[in-house]
A and B are shown apart, each in its own frame.
Chain A
Amino acid sequence: MNAMKKTLICAAAALACSAALAEEIRDYRAAAVAMLKRDFKTRGIATADRVIEDGVQAICNRTADNPPKDIVARLEQDALESIRYPADGQFLGDWKEGEKIAQNGRGMAWSDPAGAPGGGSCYNCHQIGPQETSFGTIGTSLYQFGKLRGNTPETQRYVYGRLWNAKAFNLCSAMPRFGHSGALTDQQIRHLIALLLDPQSPVNSK
Chain B
Amino acid sequence: MKHRLSMLMAATVMAAACAAYAQQPPAKSAITEEFEKFREVLEEDNPAELFEAKGEDIWKHAKGPDGATMAQCDLGLGAGVVKGAYVRMPRYFADVDQVMDAERRVVHCMVKYLGYKEADIRKQPFSNDRVTPDHVSVVTWVAGQSRDMKIAAPRKHPKEIEAYNIGKEIFAYRAGAYDFSCATCHGADGKRIRTQDLPNLRRPEEAIRAYQGWPGYRMTGGFMLTQQWRMNDCFRQQRFPEPTYLSDSITALLTYMTVTANGQVYKGPGIKR
Q: B239–A109 contact, CB under 8 A? A: yes
Q: Which of A24, A39, A40, A42 has the most CB of B within 10 A?
A: A39
| Residues of B with C-beta under 8 A to A31 | 162, 166, 169
Q: B175–A39 contact, CB under 8 A? A: no
Q: B193–A138 contact, CB under 8 A? A: yes
Choose the segment among B3-11, B79-87, B246-254 that binds chain A (4+ C-beta atoms closer than 8 Å): B246-254
Question: In the assembly, what is the distance between CA of A35 and CA of B242, in Å?
Answer: 13
Q: A57–B170 contact, CB under 8 A? A: no
Choose the segment among B63-71, B184-192, B262-270 that binds chain A (4+ C-beta atoms closer than 8 Å): B184-192
Q: A50–B193 contact, CB under 8 A? A: no
Q: Cβ of A111 < 8 Å from any Cβ of B?
A: yes
Q: Cβ of B23 < 8 Å from any Cβ of A?
A: no
Q: Which of B11-46 contact A (CB under 8 A)?
A: 25, 27-28
Given contacts A28-B165, A32-B252, A111-B236, contact A134 B25 (CB under 8 A): yes
Choose the segment among A85-93, A156-164, A174-182 that binds chain B (4+ C-beta atoms closer than 8 Å): A174-182
| Residues of A with C-beta under 8 A to B242 | 40-43, 46, 110
| Residues of A with C-beta under 8 A to B249 | 32, 35-36, 38-40
Question: In the assembly, what is the distance between CA of A29 and CA of B27, in Å?
Answer: 41
Q: Cβ of A8 < 8 Å from any Cβ of B?
A: no
Give B129 Cβ to nearest chain A Cβ, in Å. 16
Checking A28, A60, A134 against B194 with a beta-carbon cut-off of 8 angstroms, the contacting residue is A134
Question: In the assembly, what is the distance between CA of A167 and CA of B191, in Å?
Answer: 21
Q: Cβ of A124 < 8 Å from any Cβ of B?
A: yes
Q: Cβ of A48 < 8 Å from any Cβ of B?
A: yes
Q: Known contacts A43-B241, A138-B188; can you find 6 more A-B pairs with CB under 8 A? A: A24-B165, A31-B162, A40-B241, A134-B27, A138-B185, A176-B178
Checking A61, A109, A110, A181 against B173 with a beta-carbon cut-off of 8 angstroms, the contacting residue is A61
| Residues of B with C-beta under 8 A to A167 | 179
| Residues of A with C-beta under 8 A to B184 | 138, 174
Q: B247–A39 contact, CB under 8 A? A: yes
Q: A28–B168 contact, CB under 8 A? A: yes
| Residues of A with C-beta under 8 A to B94 | none
Q: Which of A137-184 contact B (CB under 8 A)?
A: 137-138, 167, 174, 176-177, 181-183
Q: Cβ of A114 < 8 Å from any Cβ of B?
A: no
Q: A42–B241 contact, CB under 8 A? A: yes
Given contacts A32-B166, A39-B248, A50-B175, contact A110 B193 (CB under 8 A): no
Question: In the assembly, what is the distance between CA of A110 and CA of B244, in Å?
Answer: 14
Q: Which of B169, B190, B235 has the most CB of A within 10 A?
A: B169
Q: A57–B174 contact, CB under 8 A? A: yes
Q: Cβ of A64 < 8 Å from any Cβ of B?
A: yes
Q: Cβ of B176 < 8 Å from any Cβ of A?
A: yes
